[in-house]
Amino acid sequence: MPRDKTKSHERIIEAAKKEFLEYGYADASLRRIAADAEIQVGGLYKHFASKDEMFETLVEPAIQEFYALYHDIENEYFGDAKASAWEPKREVTRTMELIYRHYDEFRLLILRSKGTRYEDFKHEVALLEEKATLRYLDELRKQGCPVKDVDRTEFHLITTSYVEAFFQPLIHGLDKEKAMHYTRTLEEFYQPAWKSWLGI
């Protein structure tokens, strides 16, 4: 009777996640993954072309869900782009809830992705946030809203620090309850600061 490839695939996925979380992508061993999945090393290649593909399989669905939510929230802001609309839309809370639904996958991204094409994920998120916010501010100006001109370098640094702050619960291994409490604090801290600095 042929072996169930689906069960083998699931064992490989779990073994790869365990290995990447413990050792990081760069130091992960295909030999250990195969042993943990109870197959030969050569058997891995019947399921994945490379270690890169294994890592991608683990993190890509979570990334796509993250960006889908990001763009949904972005559209909510642009759907009513006026100064009075710059009110909390629970974006930080909603995003943190998503991240904790995919806790292991985001820990892989933030803490264990060195050597992969995902190692600059935080930086890419910061650039995305920077571009989206600048476009939103331009839209407010077009509508006659008094938005301050800010130094672009400072804007980049503050946006980067904001994104870095957002991912701290993962970096420090907070459980979900503590992470959500921190998230509410983050919203309360940054929202007035952004509005004051930008003159909105």
pLDDT tens-place string over residues 18-30: 999 999 999 999 9
Q: How many domains does the chain have?
A: 2
pLDDT of 3 > 60? The answer is: no
Q: Give the pLDDT band (50/70/90) at residue 88.
A: low
pLDDT of residue 83: 53
Q: pLDDT higher for 41 or 5?
A: 41
**Distance from the Cα of residue 112 to its chain's centroid:** 13
pLDDT of 1 > 50? The answer is: no
**Distance from the Cα of residue 24 to its chain's centroid:** 17
Q: Tell me: do 92 and 169 sit in the same domain.
A: yes
Segment 98-127, tens digit of pLDDT = 999 999 999 999 999 999 999 999 999 999
Residue 9 sits in which domain range?
A: 1-48
Task: Classify residue 185 as exposed, middle or buried by CB count within 10 Å of its CB (0-12, 13-18, 19+).
Answer: exposed
Residue 180 belongs to what H/E stretch? helix 176-198
Q: Tell me: do 120 and 23 sit in the same domain.
A: no
Q: Tell me: do 103 and 30 sit in the same domain.
A: no
Q: Tell me: do 112 and 190 sit in the same domain.
A: yes
Give the residue ranges of DSSP H helices in 45-172.
51-79, 91-101, 103-111, 121-142, 152-166, 168-171
In a domain, 53, yes or no: no
Q: Of 125, 134, 200, which is closest to residue 165 (Cα–Cα)?
A: 125
pLDDT of residue 90: 83
CA distance 38 to 22: 18
Q: What is the CATH number of the domain that holds 15?
A: 1.10.10.60
pTM for the whole structure:
0.89
